[in-house]
Amino acid sequence: MGHSTRDGINRRTLVKGGAAAIAAPALLGPGAARGQARVIKIGHVSPRTGPLAGFGEADNFIIDQVRGILKKGIQIGGRNYPVQIVSKDSQSTGSRAAEVASELILSDKVDLLIAAGTPDTTNPVSDQAEVNEVPCVCTNCPWQPYFFGRKGDPKKGFNWTYHFFWGLEDVIGNFTNAWKSVQTNKKVGGLFPNDGDGNAWGDKELGFPKPLAAMGFTLTDPGRFQNGTQDFSAQIAAFKRDGVEIVTGVVIPPDAKTFLTQAKQQGFKPKVVTLGKALLFPGAIEALGELGYGLTTEVWWSPSHPFTSSLTKQSARALADAYETGTKKQWTQPIGFAHALFEVAADTLKRSKSLAAKDVRDALAATSMNSVVGAVKWGGPGPFKNVSKTPLVLGQWNKGAKYKVELSIVNNEAAKNIPTGGAIRLID
């Protein structure tokens, strides 16, 4: 492989499968061929296929929308540059996410990377960007598995990679706020798989165990299981043994369906089921049939969120309505964050002094803006210099009027500016 020099960097490192190999640099200045028109390239990675595809469901709509908005280009340093968005599918696996991120950096030579969709996508993409010194921003993953899952040092942070979303403290607060408002025995059963999310949520220090104990909840954690498991008998038996009335955890949609089906078959009837990840999307709830009614989940974004896009000036409601009109599908939570990623990307590029990697990174680091998901400012509403927190509330799925199932916000103690649509109810 040939080498070239740019921004004082004469080689970059490709991290793949834990092994480091020297690779050609990411070209962040003018095109390789002299006289070739310079194009700003934004690289985008999300799960379009596989068990996490719900996180990428809105991407095509959002990317088409953004391409229309940016069709006249972006001005940097007094010059107008056309914008190209290069989007790739992580296929819901970390190895593929790392692979496509390296393609975007080394082959497509992107100026800025953006990524979304659980630690399986965000972390490998961010790791590739960090080691190759390419600016990167991502979302749709609690900040703890993003930051600590990448072995981040709170004192140092990261140099090239940034993240906006909520944290485990927010999801724990939302879940327990709702649980405290209904009558239960406060016995909780945990479903924590052996992946980035599950290990973080179940972590004795960072996750659910410590705060639940402090609030008087008793947690039954039967141990980690593999995603895609076909048998939850051991977990159900442990929950029945301990008299569990609340089930929580963070599982993929197929596992939620397997668990809930087997729980019903085995006579386990919890009063509350509050799960992260699996219950976010209307399609996953519809697939559960009657088992979906009354289930609760975190709500990161909804049409009733009181925020406006910096790119389109659309309210959250207007953006959701545009999605429903354009796709003939029900709104889904990732719409807002998929859109906000491009808001941050466009805002960064518009403020950058040049297209040199360090200038784009410096502009990204200085981000302070309002988006359709709320304020984004690293280290402002966030715990570290690379993290910005967004608000979180709790929602419950019920039979719908316009759609088969509809999500209603039932607890907003953590973000009073986001209106509720009623109170949580126990599962029939």
DSSP string across 156-180: T--SSEEEES--HHHHHHHHHHHHH
pLDDT at 398 over 90: yes
Residue-wise pLDDT for 253-273, tens only, equals 999 999 999 999 999 999 999
Percent of the chain with pLDDT over 70: 91
pLDDT at residue 117, rounded to an integer: 92
Do β-strands 296-299 and 393-399 pair in parallel, antiparallel, or remain unpaired? antiparallel
Can you tell me the mean pLDDT for 214-234? 97
The rounded distance, in Å, linking the Cα atoms of 371 and 409 is 21
Mean pLDDT to the nearest integer, 301-309 = 97
Query: Integer distance in angstroms from the first to the last C-alpha of the chain?
Result: 63
Confidence of residue 379 (pLDDT cuts 50, 70, 90): confident
How many angstroms separate the most distant Cα atoms in the chain? Answer: 72
Q: pTM value?
A: 0.88
> Tens digits of per-residue pLDDT, 93-137?
999 999 999 999 999 999 999 999 999 999 999 999 999 999 999
Kindly indicate the confidence band of residue 34, based on its pLDDT and cuts at 50, 70 and 90.
very low
pLDDT number for residue 11: 32
Q: What is the DSSP string of 307-369?
A: -B-TTT--BHHHHHHHHHHHHSS---THHHHHHHHHHHHHHHHHH-SSSSHHHHHHHHHT-EE
* Mean model confidence pLDDT for the chain: 91
> What pLDDT, on the 0 to 100 scale, is given for residue 149?
93
Pick from 191, 257, 255, 250: nearest CA to 224 = 191
Contact 56/89 with Cβ under 8 angstroms? Answer: yes
Please check the confidence at residue 290 and state whether its pLDDT lies above 90: yes
List the domains of the chain with CATH numbers: 12-166+304-388 (3.40.50.2300), 169-299+392-411 (3.40.50.2300)
Q: Residue 320 in contact with residue 335, Cβ under 8 Å?
A: yes
